[in-house]
């Protein structure tokens, strides 16, 4: 059966299915005009199947994909203009991130069920965002990559600005301009690389770097330009300041997408471009990256500890966890890279789930101030259990998906620099401190706030949202080998490209 589907342009289908759904909504809006409750419900019920279909299509691609083969599969290639091409293809690294995206989007739609304002626009933007995110992970042309990478800013900007909290406009601007500034330098570097190599294909560029190699002085500049973009996106300390603002103001589902997927683009970029294409510069900057990563881990954990807002706390914990990712990536070892990929996936699920947890109480009480809550376990036992699981995942408890990634990135870093690994280990302790404190303040104790006495436990829709996430966290925690075996070929190729060139 997989041969049958292998002939289909599966990646194009996965990428553009959400966009087709968005177009359908737009057309129906033109035809129906009216904005009544029935229409809004229709839009919701149209969006959800579209995202589920996309997930199924990506599963088909997953079935057809053979992880034991190194290199890109499911390749599609159409010439465009100026020597660029519409070129898609996946290796196991991109495949996992695509699955993460398609897996989380239907859950986000479920979590957005309560949105009442301009429902059609919201859903259209969300679907377009999904198309652009998937596109980032499966394109093989560096210009097309940039197109998707930057294009994602547009729907996110509007999502934060229209459906966000009180300071949404400020947050939306900061988000957009910060990331655009980082990316435009990358664009200059991309064009310079195309000028040197005469190709915009990512595999060709990687091959060029492996066989001929960019001039090592030039590598420094190119590396810095790419760093400017990915470090902002990831985000790394000290260019992370847009993230807490964006997270606090964004609507729940946008927070989920932001934390779970958009941040991963930074890590993906480091793995796909910086490491294999500029190995000398990556080697040169390893101490720099290690320092930033450790600072991010320790400092962001400390800052998280002092937050009064749940979303801000989780946002800072994201900064800390992404510190592990960069630590693993720039260790350049097999363990480090495997760990970084795993950590990205796990963080995608856990931080997404934590934002959904905040969303549940926010929907009921319209605040995410920590002091407002307390003793939720008395009224919402199921919620408290779910929240507990993801808190422990965030801490990196063995048995949850948070553990293997952290331990492997630290192992990888230990081989290069023991002090960096020690600093990161300190971060693990701190993460337990802030995450458990948050849990204690919100869920445990007695209900002090009278407004909370009537709060209801998870409803059916929320059950449906959390169940897949709980299952995924536990599977990845108890059987991480699933993921490791799958991503092995990519990690090997990246590590080989790096160590092959490093002196």
Look at residues 109, 95, 32, 34 and name the one whose alpha carbon lies nearest to residue 66: 95
465-478 b/e (C-beta count within 10 Å ≥ 16 → b) = bbebbbebbeebbe
Find residue 79's DSSP bridge partners.
Answer: 85
Question: Binding residue for another protein (CB under 8 A) from 120, 209, 257, 271?
Answer: 120
450, 54 Cβ separation under 8 angstroms: no
Sole window of 87-95, 166-174, 300-308, 463-471 interacting with another protein (rule: CB under 8 A): 166-174
Give φ, ψ of 334 to 5 degrees: -60, -45
The DSSP secondary-structure symbol of 261 reads I
From 57-65, 178-186, 406-414, 451-459, give the range in contact with another protein by CB under 8 A. Answer: 178-186
Task: Give the interface size with another protein as a residue count (CB under 8 A).
Answer: 40
Please identify, using beta-carbon distances, which residue of 146 and 486 lies nearer to another protein.
146
Helix and strand counts by DSSP (H, E) for the chain: 23, 2
From the list 76-84, 396-404, 419-427, 464-472, the region that binds another protein by CB under 8 A is: 76-84
Q: Which of residues 10-29 bind another protein (CB under 8 A)?
A: 26, 29
Taking CB under 8 A as the rule, does residue 224 contact another protein?
A: no
Could you say whether residue 172 binds another protein (CB under 8 A)? Answer: yes
Contact between 143 and another protein per CB under 8 A: yes
Phi, psi for 366 (deg, rounded to 5): 60, 35
Judged by CB, which is closer to another protein: 124, or 354?
124
Rounded to a whole number of angstroms, the minimum distance from the CB of residue 44 to another protein is 17
Cβ burial 352-370 (10 Å sphere, 16+ → b, else e):
bbbbbbbbbbbeeeeebeb
Under the binding rule (CB under 8 A), the answer on residue 450 touching another protein is no
The 10 Å Cβ neighbour count of residue 71 is 11
Which window, 40-48, 179-187, 314-322, 452-460, contacts another protein (CB under 8 A)?
Answer: 179-187
| Residue 30 touches another protein, criterion: CB under 8 A | yes
Query: Does 215 help bind another protein (rule: CB under 8 A)?
Result: no
Verify binding: residue 91, another protein, rule CB under 8 A: no
| Cβ atoms of 321 and 351 closer than 8 Å | yes
Check if the beta carbon of residue 329 is closer than 8 Å to that of residue 340.
yes
| CB closer to another protein, 67 vs 151 | 151
Write the DSSP string, 38-63: HHHHHHHHHHHHHHHHHHHHHHHHHH
The only residue of 12, 28, 118, 415 in contact with another protein, by rule CB under 8 A = 118
Q: Does 86 sit near another protein (CB under 8 A)? A: yes
H/E segment holding residue 490: helix 481-501
Q: Among 184, 210, 385, 388, which residue sits at the site for another protein (rule: CB under 8 A)?
A: 184
Question: Which helix (DSSP H) or strand (DSSP E) does residue 358 occupy?
Answer: helix 334-365
Does residue 148 bind another protein (CB under 8 A)? yes
| 168 is a contact residue toward another protein (CB under 8 A) | yes
> Which residues would be at the binding site for another protein (CB under 8 A)?
26, 29-30, 79-82, 86, 118, 120-121, 132, 143, 146-148, 150-151, 153-154, 157-158, 161-162, 168-169, 172-173, 176-177, 180-181, 184-185, 187-188, 191-192, 194-195
């Amino acid at each position: 059966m997989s041969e049958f589907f292998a002939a289909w342009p599966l990646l194009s289908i996965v990428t553009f299915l959400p966009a087709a759904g968005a177009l359908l909504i737009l057309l129906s809006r033109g035809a129906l005009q009216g904005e009544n409750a029935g229409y809004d419900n229709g839009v919701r019920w149209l969006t959800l199947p579209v995202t589920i279909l996309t997930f199924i299509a990506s599963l088909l691609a997953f079935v057809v994909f053979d992880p034991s083969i190194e290199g890109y599969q499911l390749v599609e290639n159409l010439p465009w203009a100026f020597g660029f091409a519409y070129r898609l293809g996946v290796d196991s690294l991109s495949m996992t991130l695509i699955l993460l995206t398609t897996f989380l989007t239907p859950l986000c739609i479920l979590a957005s069920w309560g949105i009442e304002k301009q429902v059609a626009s919201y859903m259209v933007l969300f679907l377009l965002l999904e198309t652009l995110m998937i596109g980032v992970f499966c394109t093989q042309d560096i210009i097309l990559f940039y197109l998707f990478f930057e294009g994602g800013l547009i729907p996110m900007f509007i999502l934060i600005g229209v459906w966000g909290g009180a300071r949404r406009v400020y947050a939306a601007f900061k988000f957009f301009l910060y990331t655009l500034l980082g990316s435009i330098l990358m664009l200059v570097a991309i064009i310079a690389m195309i000028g040197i190599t005469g190709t915009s294909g990512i595999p060709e560029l990687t091959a060029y770097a492996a066989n001929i190699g960019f001039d090592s002085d030039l590598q420094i500049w190119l590396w810095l330009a790419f760093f400017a973009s990915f470090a902002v996106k990831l985000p790394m300390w000290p260019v992370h300041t847009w993230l807490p603002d964006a997270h606090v103001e964004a609507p729940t589902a946008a927070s989920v997408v932001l934390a779970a997927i958009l941040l991963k683009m930074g890590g993906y970029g480091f793995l796909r471009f910086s490491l294999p294409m500029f190995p000398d510069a990556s080697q040169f900057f390893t101490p720099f990256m290690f320092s930033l990563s450790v600072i991010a881990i320790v400092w962001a954990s400390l800052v998280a500890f002092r937050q009064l807002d749940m979303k801000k706390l989780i946002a800072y914990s994201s900064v800390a966890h992404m510190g592990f990712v960069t630590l693993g990536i720039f260790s350049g070892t097999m363990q480090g890279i495997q760990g970084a990929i795993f950590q990205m996936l796990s963080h995608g699920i856990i931080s997404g789930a934590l934002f959904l947890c905040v969303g549940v109480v926010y929907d009921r009480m319209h605040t995410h101030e920590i002091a407002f809550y307390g003793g939720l376990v008395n009224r919402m036992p199921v919620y408290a259990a779910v929240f507990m699981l993801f808190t422990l995942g965030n801490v990196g408890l063995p048995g949850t998906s948070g553990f293997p990634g952290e331990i492997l990135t630290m192992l990888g870093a230990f081989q290069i620099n023991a002090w960096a690994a020690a600093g990161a280990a300190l971060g693990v302790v701190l993460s337990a401190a802030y995450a458990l404190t948050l849990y204690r303040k919100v869920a445990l104790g007695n209900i002090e706030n009278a407004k909370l006495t009537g709060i209801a436990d998870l409803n059916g829709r929320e059950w449906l949202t959390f169940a897949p996430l709980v299952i995924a966290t536990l599977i990845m925690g108890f059987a991480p080998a699933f993921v490791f075996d799958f991503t092995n070929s990519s990690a090997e190729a990246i590590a080989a490209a790096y160590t092959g060139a490093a002196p």
